[in-house]
A and B are shown apart, each in its own frame.
Chain A
């Protein structure tokens, strides 16, 4: 086994390429433009960043990937993109349930019962109970 010279945590963080920032009021237009360009909807990712939620909308054209990045304060409603890309309905339901992010107008809305059951944890992906960071 050999040792590699690699990034230490002091080096600048690695970034995902081809990320475009998007504002809430232009989201649907940008997604509609992706549909017109025949981009394939890949998935969405939600991150809990404290006061904000971050949403990534991932698209692909062949093997080329593009990502829309939306940052919005917690409590802000987000329109569903499932009216444009029906395939988004599953992941939008998942984000709505697991993060409590209010996504409105989902084409097939499970009203909080896609993955979670009655009596189960609510919004379990939130970082309200932060994971302890170990410094090893």
Chain B
């Protein structure tokens, strides 16, 4: 008789309130195999994208995910703009960077809080989420809503940010940075936290590349790939160096996200210091025609939109590859050999977003 036991981890689990299941095969307490199961909440967004007008799709794609809605819209709009030969005004490109980086900041705060919660560090969880409220308030003040801000559109952005609000963002970021120093120190230097993260879920660089890992998961394995270095929006003018760690474990992934918070703060400051005056939107003429491959960097990694259009008002094909779906094979490779007790934290370490995956 085999000593192996199969345990279904999810789709409901206290540490991961998202509908994904990992079917774990264990030998005593050691994981031998993990098989992922998704599809619990698949929404058919790609098909819906063929049925709606290409301008309506902006509203559709920004509802794929509540955490990075602006960046979904950005990726889609950049693809459509390429197909229409539209050049976005410089001020709009800077505003796109500002809202994108604020999204990354709030997403990383959300994740750092969830990690602290998963480790039983509730006061630190509340600290990160309290700090995150500053960012949500910035969204409300500059866009009128806290979650799906709906400011990105084809040809630019729907709203400008007035100088007083740019000043307000800088003041809030100063306060956030100070609070971040305390909270990040709490998670990166705590002995107990380190014991739960260091050496857990190791992904060597070669394996990370072959398994198609993206974002902080890939960069924590020492691979300096960040789609922002392509220079889309205003990233080319602002300059960016990928944040890289070499440990390849859950701790390295945490360090990458913590350091990226500071990087995002600096990018917003730089964007505000250099933002040009002028229009924030153009009205592109004609209709999208051809095929485009659009790529941006979400908080969780590389986001891909492949768009095929035939010159009509509806798209021939809208293909969306989200970062979590790219990181699932890497997760499957990280788990064998680990203890059952470490599965929740290792799973959390890829920052899974099933809302994106089940587009």
Q: Which residues of A contact B (CB under 8 A)?
A: 1-16, 35, 38, 40-43, 45, 47-48, 56, 58, 60, 62-63, 65, 67, 85-87, 89-91, 108, 113-117, 124-125, 131, 133-136
Contacts and interface: CB of A to CB of B under 8 A. Distances in A.
* Interface band, chain B: 35 or more
A98 B212 CA distance: 22
A38 B312 contact: no
7 contacts: A6-B86, A16-B293, A16-B306, A42-B302, A62-B225, A63-B227, A135-B313
B155 A90 contact: no
A125 B282 CA distance: 33
A124 B39 contact: no
A43 B285 contact: no
A6 B84 contact: yes
A5 B283 CA distance: 9
Nearest to A114: B39
Contact of B82 (A3, A14, A60, A87): A14
A16 B291 contact: yes
B39 A14 contact: no
A134 B313 contact: yes
A9 B289 contact: yes
B47 interface: yes
Given A6-B284, A13-B290, A47-B308, 14 more contacts: A6-B86, A7-B84, A9-B312, A13-B310, A14-B291, A40-B210, A40-B225, A45-B306, A67-B293, A90-B325, A113-B39, A115-B38, A115-B39, A133-B312
Contact of B329 (A2, A10, A87, A117): A87
Interface in B303-321: 304, 306, 308-314, 316-317, 319, 321
B175 interface: no
Contacts of B35: 108
Given A6-B286, A134-B314, A87 B211 contact: yes
